């Protein structure tokens, strides 16, 4: 960066300030406005953070115009094709791909923590059987801080590491328990001889009365789905985890906050919403009607699984997901799935439509994931839970990075106040 590019000049209200320009390893430069308020008595205004970098990070990079997603520099397509979720977890947490010894040690460290405190089973029984599993996840994950007191001191690196391993290890167990509870089947204990994805399928679908054989195509698909969702830089739930953690809250409470944020249909809840939308559309001849509805400004309906704050091109995760979808359905002999046909038709029509083209609205990761998960036997209500299981490693990697950042401060945005100005209290008998 040349000398003249290192300073941004801002003139406002008769005051001129020089603001430093910072440059990352790749991606847009940022203007450092930390001194702005002190120098000008003015804030910046950016609802939804469309132009604001909230932190410095070395974990994940997205180029939304080009449709690129990198974890620690590695393209998501290469990781989905050649790596596995355990390795991706190590990469996100520690910055490099593990060698053989590091991998074995890490996997052992994770599997050591897959069981949950036996008393947590009683905790589940407090929920209604028809509770949404995301509601159970928010409650139970938050409750982990009441069970694991020995890993809540955020200033102790060892305790942070134990909490990190616990969260990554226990999320599949808790997610599967939430599902089993809703069906009335007994909880299935984890099996540490299985991979992360295999163990999750086993805890979800095994029953004590029968042998459960894990299909390698299904476990590979599960692994890929986890890999594709593992991190996505400063999205809403990750920013929630960072904000909650910035006050010094314990990691279990922070991840519970992330789960709550993920639940919304604009974020992780979209995979469930896509499937419900496809079921509502019902047949190919109604696709045009729904595309029209999505374009109507007087109708709050949106095409779920379409559009993204950062991607203004095809979401690279959606491409891998689409391939996996065809693979899984072919393996299950369900390639004629009417919902898949409907999704393909919807994608085709939307991608040719001027509205979607002009606004650069492309399918996102959630567009195809629901179809795969449904074919694999997951109920719709579990889709967002699977997203939470996968994203936990990203959340804790980002949380650890924040705690270790010497520039870290409690997150405390300001506001543009447009309410009443100071006025005196009015007694009841004087009010209108
Ligand atoms: N269907 C119809 N119109 C849309 C859609 C859509 N899915 N998405 C955006 N638009 C329109 C929107 O109405 C707006 O139009 P205008 O400029 O005329 O007001 C324009 O496109 C820009 O949209 P925005 O809401 O300002 O963009 P945003 O960055 O705030 O929202 C989004 C991003 C993902 C919330 C939004 O695209 C959306 O609601 N999509 C559907 C839900 C979805 O699939 N979410 C999953 C996201 S990927 C997984 C994850 O990261 O959680």
pLDDT at 121 over 80: yes
Ligand 1 centre to CA of 110 (Å) is: 36
| Token duo for residue 141 | 């994950």
Q: Is 267 in the pocket of ligand 1 (CB under 6 A)?
A: yes
Respond yes or no: is residue 308 known to be catalytic.
yes
Main-chain dihedrals φ then ψ at residue 98, nearest 5 degrees = -80, 150
Respond yes or no: is residue 102 known to be catalytic.
no
Express each pLDDT in 145-160 by its tens digit: 999 999 999 999 999 9
End-to-end Cα spacing for the chain: 62
d(CA 388, CA 391): 5
Express each pLDDT in 238-261 by its tens digit: 999 999 999 999 999 999 999 999
pLDDT at 1 over 80: no
d(CA 383, CA 389): 10
C-beta of residue 347 within 8 angstroms of C-beta of residue 354: no
| Token duo for residue 290 | 């729904």
| Token duo for residue 62 | 């997205």
What mean pLDDT is predicted for residues 220-245?
97
Tell me the best of 231, 241, 307, 357 to mutate to test the pocket of ligand 1, counting ligand atoms within 8 Å of each CB and taking the most: 307
* pLDDT bracket for residue 335 (50, 70, 90): confident
Give the global pTM.
0.94
| Token duo for residue 249 | 């809250």
d(CA 148, CA 164): 12
Question: Of these residues, 165, 202, 229, 308, which one is catalytic?
Answer: 308
DSSP SS3 for 61: strand
Question: Of these residues, 84, 231, 315, 366, which one is catalytic?
Answer: 366
| Token duo for residue 45 | 């205004």
* pLDDT bracket for residue 372 (50, 70, 90): very high
| Orientation angle between helical segments 236-246 and 251-262, nearest 10 degrees | 150
What mean pLDDT is predicted for residues 113-141?
95
State the chain's mean pLDDT as an integer: 95
């Amino acid at each position: 960066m040349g000398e003249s590019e290192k300073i941004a000049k801002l003139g406002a209200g008769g005051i001129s300030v020089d603001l430093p320009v910072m440059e990352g390893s790749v991606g847009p430069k940022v203007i450092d406005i930390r001194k702005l308020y002190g120098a000008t008595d003015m804030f910046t205004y950016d609802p939804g953070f469309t132009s604001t970098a909230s932190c410095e990070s070395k974990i994940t990079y997205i180029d939304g115009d080009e449709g690129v997603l990198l974890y620690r520099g590695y393209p998501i397509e290469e990781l989905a094709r050649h790596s596995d979720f355990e390795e991706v977890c190590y990469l996100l947490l520690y910055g490099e791909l593990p060698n053989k010894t590091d991998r074995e040690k890490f996997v052992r460290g994770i599997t050591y923590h897959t069981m949950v405190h036996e008393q947590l089973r009683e905790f589940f029984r407090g929920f209604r059987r028809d509770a949404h599993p995301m509601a159970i996840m928010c409650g139970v994950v938050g409750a982990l801080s009441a069970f694991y007191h020995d890993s809540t001191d955020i200033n102790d690196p060892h305790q942070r590491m134990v909490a990190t391993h616990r969260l990554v290890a226990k999320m599949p167990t808790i997610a599967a328990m939430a599902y089993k509870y809703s069906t009335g089947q007994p909880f299935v204990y984890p099996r540490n001889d299985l991979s992360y994805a295999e163990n999750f399928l086993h805890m979800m679908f095994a029953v004590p009365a029968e042998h459960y054989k894990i299909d390698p195509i299904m476990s590979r698909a599960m692994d890929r789905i986890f890999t594709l969702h593992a991190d996505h830089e400063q999205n809403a739930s990750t920013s929630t985890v960072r904000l909650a953690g910035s006050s010094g809250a314990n990691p279990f409470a922070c991840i519970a906050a992330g789960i709550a944020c993920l639940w919304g249909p604009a974020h992780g809840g979209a995979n469930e919403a896509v499937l419900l939308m496809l079921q509502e559309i019902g047949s190919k001849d109604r696709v045009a009607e729904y595309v029209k509805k999505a374009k109507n400004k007087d109708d709050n309906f949106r095409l779920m699984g379409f559009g993204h704050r950062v991607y203004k091109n095809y979401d690279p995760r959606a491409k891998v997901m689409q391939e996996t979808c065809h693979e899984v359905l072919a393996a299950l002999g369900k390639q004629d799935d009417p919902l898949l046909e409907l999704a393909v038709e919807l994608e085709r029509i939307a991608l040719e439509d001027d509205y979607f083209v002009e606004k650069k609205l492309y399918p996102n990761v959630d567009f195809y994931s629901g179809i795969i998960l449904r074919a694999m036997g997951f109920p719709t209500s579990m889709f967002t839970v699977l997203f939470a299981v996968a994203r936990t490693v990203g959340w804790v990697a980002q949380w650890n990075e924040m705690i270790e950042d010497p520039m870290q401060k409690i997150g405390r945005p300001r506001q543009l106040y447009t309410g009443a100005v100071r006025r005196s209290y009015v007694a009841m008998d004087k009010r209108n």
